[in-house]
Chain A
């Protein structure tokens, strides 16, 4: 099909064409970047966390009496293990995705230049098994290592061993020989790495999406008032029942404490609230924006069709088929949208540069551009279809009227 007449006609209506091109370009720029951000957020939702998530219930018990905690904790754990359906219970100082907790600057030695921040988990005896930590190298803590490790009001346990996540091991010892090395915390304390686990998430949600999202260390600890999280394991179908029974049991054992239970699934869900709501907002904006763009195209195309009724009639009268007319308007729309997309690619790149500078976003991968282009071509063709069909139904007799 000859596109020269289309160019001639577009040239004649420069202003409306320029407006549509600008609108498509803006939509393309916003769309490509928004889809990119949505993709990132969706990937974050599936963030790995190598513990038995679907088997766990967590009950936080706050305000324990420091003087009796050492006796209370074993008593509470024994009571929890007695609930029917419970296959294990242990105490921890904090929970993956749970309330924010201690972060330490760790390194391979006092002179090291690498100081990643790592979240500190302290576990009571049985903790690794209840959580379902997956050991990749080395071993878990022995009973003596729990008993020897105490805080006495300090921040760091006075034991000598630590288990670290794979990501952190990779960051500190890129050659892969983490086992047996000394992990330094600050410039005074150091611990022997006895195990490396599959990646476990950090507490809170602030590290989600960052390279450091799995930097965590595990210490053994004897019963201590710092233990505020009771982790209870059961089959997934028993979780709700176990949760209520465990809460009730702890309320009777510790009437002066603030007790709150949640399944681990709920804790994970809450940590990703912001991520999820941002993704939904972006999806909504994309949909509405594409609709608005389509409205614009429909509006202008129908205007063009009406304006050119007579020309269409003449073309029909001298032999053009309905299909020819339809194709003419579809081709015209394709050309306009293509122009918009070309400009939109440049704009997308500019918007991405701005976002990279202000919002810690990575560079837009090139394959988002053809996705944006295809979407807009499709929207353009669909939007123009109505007016184009309308045009194709203009009868040839129009040519003879009012000349």
Chain B
């Protein structure tokens, strides 16, 4: 039966070529546009660490005297959800979570190893030892540093796979020296390619998406060499030479729990800490926040609002395309009332007519889906040529590939429902009379 319907559908398409092409093209355009924006939206709002994110949290406290909203116009929480060094280190040393790491970002100036080349900037992550285990960072050679190394201001560095390829042709470079901001650091580890998207551990410190950072340095060692964070927010006279004691927020604290449920106890601890500091006169506002990794991404609005707008627009467009396809399918089916009349008179049941028209719609849908895939690839190609920091990451993945066909099929079946229903209620007698 199915093949018979298929045959009928093909014959009907042949008879009405223009109408068929219009339908497929319309549906293809709508699907192409929505899949393109969805792919980018998924890329930008994705979970950077799917296996760990449920147990990773970041606490936020208000270091200001003023409450969080009123201090500066249009800039609520002006400290950028960063923490002062003092608070972050106190919470780190309290060791109330399974693992904890303080992070901040610097622009590391890396000296070239080959003569005739110029120094260049790479992202420099300043952090504490748990960073690597906590975020499941894969090592190709060597490993991270110990808490003792941090306290001793040891000049050690972990480098990215990209930097290792650039400077040492990808060979094991553990033990070699690297010049960062005019200071010699000993390489103790080389990472495998690692670039979580978005770069959640340095959200307010620069580009949200990219190829990953170049070097990872012990926070205290890097500060001893005067490396400055790329972002800081101060609420009093500050000095860049003494960021640790200045009234400035410039680090993030990340904590990992054994179970996500431990977050409740940690929040209590955080409240208690803030109350204690308020009693000492160091802090003034009791409110605390504890965000899960994905909650923090939402909070910081990592997805550009233009992109969300484009996604809405694409779905509005898809809706128009579906309405259009419904209209065209309906026109085609009304045009064939006489044919339906004949089939009904020859004994075809209503549900058979209904099935026949749904098969026809599904074929339109699948062809539209294939075309939509072509349009989506073209759209993503155009996006890859944009200068945005996420541009080169825009590729159609298998799940989106499958989603294209799901969307196409569902869209076409929805579009087919009305015409198919209209077709199966055609009364045969009047149609036959006019032959």
Q: How large is the interface on B (under 10, 10 to 19, 20 to 34, 35 or more residues)?
A: 35 or more
A66 vs B74: C-alpha distance when bound (angstroms): 35
A278 vs B386: C-alpha distance when bound (angstroms): 11
0/1 string, A10-28, CB within 8 A of B gives 1:
0000011001101100110
A186 vs B238: C-alpha distance when bound (angstroms): 12
What residues of A have a CB within 8 angstroms of the CB of B175 in the complex?
Answer: none
A105 vs B181: C-alpha distance when bound (angstroms): 31
Residue B324 is within 8 A (CB to CB) of chain A in the complex: yes
A167 vs B29: C-alpha distance when bound (angstroms): 45
Given known contacts A258-B118, A273-B387, A65 and B324 CB-to-CB distance under 8 angstroms = no
0/1 string, A320-343, CB within 8 A of B gives 1:
000000000000000000000000
Of B111, B234, B242, most buried by chain A (CB within 10 Å of CB) is B234
Looking at the complex, which one of B26, B109, B234, B387 makes contact with A296 (CB distance below 8 Å)?
B26
Contact present for A105 and B327 (CB under 8 Å)? no
What residues of B have a CB within 8 angstroms of the CB of A103 in the complex?
Answer: 75
Contact present for B74 and A62 (CB under 8 Å)? no
A288 vs B28: C-alpha distance when bound (angstroms): 12
Nearest to A113 among chain B residues (CB) is B70
0/1 string, A289-323, CB within 8 A of B gives 1:
10011011011100100110000000000000000
A273 vs B386: C-alpha distance when bound (angstroms): 8
0/1 string, B85-105, CB within 8 A of A gives 1:
000000000000000000000
Residue A188 is within 8 A (CB to CB) of chain B in the complex: yes
Residue A346 is within 8 A (CB to CB) of chain B in the complex: no
Contact present for B324 and A292 (CB under 8 Å)? yes
Contact present for B317 and A258 (CB under 8 Å)? no
Interface size on A, residues (CB 8 A): 63
9-residue interface stretch from B55-63, B132-140, B147-155, B328-336: B328-336
A295 vs B23: C-alpha distance when bound (angstroms): 9
What residues of A have a CB within 8 angstroms of the CB of B387 in the complex?
Answer: 270, 273
How far in angstroms is the closest Cβ of chain A from B343? 19
How far in angstroms is the closest Cβ of chain A from B273? 26
Nearest to B319 among chain A residues (CB) is A26
Residue A110 is within 8 A (CB to CB) of chain B in the complex: no
8 A Cβ contacts from B139-197 to A: 181-182
Provide the main secondary structure of the chain A interface: helix
Residue A362 is within 8 A (CB to CB) of chain B in the complex: no
A236 vs B123: C-alpha distance when bound (angstroms): 35
Residue B316 is within 8 A (CB to CB) of chain A in the complex: yes
Residue B269 is within 8 A (CB to CB) of chain A in the complex: no
Residue A382 is within 8 A (CB to CB) of chain B in the complex: no
Contact present for A303 and B334 (CB under 8 Å)? yes
Looking at the complex, which one of A20, A152, A258 makes contact with B119 (CB distance below 8 Å)?
A258
Nearest to B385 among chain A residues (CB) is A277
8 A Cβ contacts from A156-197 to B: 156, 186, 188-189
What residues of B have a CB within 8 angstroms of the CB of A189 in the complex?
Answer: 237
Contact present for A63 and B237 (CB under 8 Å)? no
Nearest to B331 among chain A residues (CB) is A303
9-residue interface stretch from B291-299, B302-310, B405-413: B302-310
Nearest to A259 among chain B residues (CB) is B118
Residue B239 is within 8 A (CB to CB) of chain A in the complex: yes
How far in angstroms is the closest Cβ of chain A from B434? 8
Given known contacts A26-B319, A296-B26, A155 and B418 CB-to-CB distance under 8 angstroms = no
Residue B323 is within 8 A (CB to CB) of chain A in the complex: yes
What residues of A have a CB within 8 angstroms of the CB of B121 in the complex?
Answer: 62, 258
Residue B388 is within 8 A (CB to CB) of chain A in the complex: yes
Contact present for B330 and A23 (CB under 8 Å)? no
6 nearest CB pairs, A to B: A303-B331, A105-B72, A19-B327, A296-B324, A153-B241, A63-B109
Starting from the known contacts A189-B237, A295-B324, A296-B328, 19 additional A-B residue pairs (CB-CB under 8 Å) come to A29-B316, A117-B78, A153-B240, A154-B240, A155-B234, A155-B240, A257-B109, A257-B119, A274-B388, A292-B321, A293-B324, A299-B328, A299-B331, A306-B335, A307-B334, A307-B335, A355-B309, A359-B308, A360-B305
15 inter-chain pairs at a CB distance below 8 angstroms, sorted by A residue, are A16-B330, A16-B331, A20-B327, A23-B323, A30-B316, A63-B109, A65-B182, A155-B237, A156-B237, A256-B119, A258-B109, A277-B386, A278-B310, A288-B317, A359-B305
Residues of B within 8 A of A (CB): 18-19, 22, 25-26, 29-30, 33, 71-75, 78, 107, 109, 111, 118-121, 181-182, 226, 234-242, 304-306, 308-310, 313-314, 316-317, 319-321, 323-324, 326-328, 330-332, 334-335, 386-388, 418, 422
